[in-house]
């Protein structure tokens, strides 16, 4: 309902082991890079807009944001990356969940982060708040399975989609917030303590398996349109898979917790028509994430008791 406020604690870790050869090679650059990001965000429910009938408008504010960067060689950009994540504190993003639970109309990311990869990371955690995206209309029952697809637009190869195969496993008591998450102190810890005193509620447990596949009808040309406009051709392979476990409150429909782990393997060659040179990008990316609800207040300030 408009006026409700929720707080989520998040933790993301990405390990990248890659190599670049060609016109953009950096023999002294880090081949292994680990980025850990933890944040606390406040989510406010706004009145629905006329442009999104049946949707839900949400405003998220980063109350805390911190990152750590580790690499196997000296990385002069490490401090800059940490500063960029820290600068998210106090920043605001507004977005809309449509009637099907899909994230739409994200506003506020531009100018907040410098790279497209950072933008995609921010969109990723927002997307985890909507476990119903791609689910059959009219709701699902225990044991039911369904599938959905989303374009993998951020990759340097065209025609790939993330296919998600989901199953409603069972109902069980919602997992309490994890006190070991970074940043779970101060206001977040107080909210966690308040929730722990509430009676337990039941959650739907949803298991999702994600795989990166070629979309049906994709042509043989692997070059994305943006690359082609800039005189760059790309080819190669990019594979990926992930698994997530989501707990959704049966009382409120809110995601209580979402954990995900996955990996990607790539070997891509990008050729510049203007410079008549090429770059090969290969390696692996592994990631894990956890998003947990630590507090929920109604419009009148009464604790919801959701876990």
Residue 26 pLDDT > 60: no
The burial class, CB within 10 Å (0-12 / 13-18 / 19+), for 80 is exposed
Q: Please measure the distance between the N-terminal and C-terminal CA atoms of the chain and give it in whole angstroms.
A: 18
What is the band of 81 on the pLDDT scale with cuts at 50, 70, 90? confident
Task: For residue 200, give the 3-state DSSP assignment.
Answer: coil
The residue written with tokens 């692996």 in the block is 284
pLDDT at position 239 is 94
Residue 234 confidence (pLDDT)? 93
Those residues whose C-beta lies under 8 Å from the C-beta of residue 94, and which sit 6 or more positions away, are 46, 57, 58, 59, 60, 105, 106, 107, 108
Instruction: Compute the chain's Rg from CA coordinates.
Output: 21
Reported as a pLDDT band with limits 50, 70 and 90, residue 53 is low
Is residue 247 predicted with pLDDT exceeding 90?
Answer: yes
Give the model's confidence band at 177: pLDDT under 50 very low, under 70 low, under 90 confident, else very high. Answer: very low
Q: What is the pLDDT of residue 193?
A: 42
Instruction: Give residue 83's pLDDT band: very low, low, confident or very high (50, 70, 90).
Output: confident
**Tens digit of each residue's pLDDT (9 = 90 or more) over 253-273:** 778 999 999 999 999 999 988
Q: Which fold has domain 5-297?
A: Lipovitellin-phosvitin complex; beta-sheet shell regions (2.30.230)
């Amino acid at each position: 309902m408009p006026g409700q406020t929720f707080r989520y604690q998040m933790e993301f870790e990405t390990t990248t082991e890659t190599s670049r050869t060609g016109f953009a090679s950096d023999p002294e650059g880090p081949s292994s890079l680990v980025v850990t990001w933890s944040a606390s965000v406040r989510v406010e429910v706004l009145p629905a807009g006329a442009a999104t009938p049946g949707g839900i408008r949400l405003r998220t504010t980063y109350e805390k944001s911190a990152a750590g960067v580790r690499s196997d060689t000296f990385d002069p950009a490490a401090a800059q990356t940490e500063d960029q994540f820290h600068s998210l504190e106090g920043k605001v993003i507004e977005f809309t969940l449509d009637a099907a639970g899909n994230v739409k109309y994200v506003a506020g990311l531009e100018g907040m982060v410098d790279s497209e990869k950072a933008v995609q990371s921010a969109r990723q955690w927002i997307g985890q708040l909507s476990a119903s995206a791609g689910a059959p209309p009219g709701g699902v029952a225990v044991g039911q399975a369904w599938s959905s697809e989303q374009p993998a637009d951020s990759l340097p190869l065209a025609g790939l989609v993330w296919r998600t195969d989901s199953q409603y496993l069972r109902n069980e008591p919602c997992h309490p917030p994890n006190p070991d998450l970074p940043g779970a102190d101060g206001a977040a810890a107080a909210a966690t303590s308040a929730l722990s005193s509430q009676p337990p509620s039941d959650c739907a447990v949803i298991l999702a398996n994600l795989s990166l596949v070629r979309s049906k009808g994709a042509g043989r040309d692997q070059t994305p349109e943006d690359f082609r406009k800039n005189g760059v051709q790309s080819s190669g392979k990019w594979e990926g898979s992930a698994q997530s476990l989501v707990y959704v409150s049966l009382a409120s429909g809110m995601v209580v917790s979402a954990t995900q782990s996955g990996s990607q393997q790539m070997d891509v060659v990008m050729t510049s028509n203007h410079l008549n040179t090429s770059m090969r990008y290969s390696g692996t990316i592994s990631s894990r994430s956890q998003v947990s609800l630590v507090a929920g207040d109604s419009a009148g300030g009464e604790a919801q008791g959701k876990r």
